[in-house]
Chains A and B, each alone.
Chain A
Amino acid sequence: MEKKFKRDVKSLDKIFDYINHFVLTSQLDDSISFSIKFVVEELFTNMIKYNVGHENDILISLKKNGQHVVVELVDYDVEPFDLTKVGDLDITKPLERREVGGLGIHLVKKMVDRINYEYENRTCRITVFKNLG
């Protein structure tokens, strides 16, 4: 299933409803459901934050494919930003030196089994794979 959402943080309610429907029809457990919601929110809000200057909707696609779930977000008419090349976050820093930036991407990488980034014709496509079981 796939659906486009307005690039606004206020779209999150509709996005979570959309994910809940997918989870229900695909009979996925709570743990997978939490991961999908987390990953979609982080990638979606990242696209809003960094791909500014236009109002194109963002496409979110959810599929259960054999033994994994495939989540894909597509953003149109944007500059390239390959999140797979972002360096690891140092989570051992003391409180005084911890920053909020980079936390979302770090956590997405921890939660999924594989991330693909593609950029062509000013279109960014991020695909994540989450193994079931």
Chain B
Amino acid sequence: MFDVTISDNGEILLSGRFDASQVEKAKSIFNKIEKSSTVDFKDLEYISSAGLGVLLMTQKRLNESGQRLKLINMNKHIWDVFHYAGFNNIFEIE
């Protein structure tokens, strides 16, 4: 089960398993983001390259207008994936 929601303070909350079957659901939220935002990974258990692709495309689009995503509260396994991908160089990760 994967879910993506926007909290009252504008943070994007991810939960569950972000696999290739969830790309369209995720895009329905990420494609609407137009300013710098925080993405909270606290309840996200898993992400694959399909999920990384959604984040990368969003970051590239936002970067064109000087905006960016900040990613927080990743578990260790997801943190490893981001580092293997070199995404720690293109995202602010807390």
CB-defined contacts of B72 to chain A, threshold 8 Å: none
Interface size class of B (residues with CB under 8 A): 20 to 34
Q: How many residues of A are in contact with the other chain, CB < 8 A? A: 27
Question: Which residues of chain A in 38-82 are interfacial with respect to chain B, using CB atoms and an 8 Å cutoff?
Answer: 38, 41-42, 45
Chain A residue at smallest Cβ distance from B45: A34
Is B31 in the interface zone, CB < 8 Å from A?
no
Judged by a CB distance under 8 angstroms, whether A23 is at the interface is no
62-94 of chain B: CB within 8 A of chain A: 63, 76-77, 81, 84-86, 89-90
Chain A binding site: helix, strand, loop or mixed by DSSP?
helix
A48 CB → nearest B CB, Å: 9
| A114, CB-defined interface residue at 8 Å | no
- The 10 A-B residue pairs with the shortest CB-CB distance in the complex, in nearest-first order: A91-B86, A104-B49, A100-B53, A34-B77, A110-B84, A95-B90, A103-B49, A9-B21, A45-B20, A41-B48
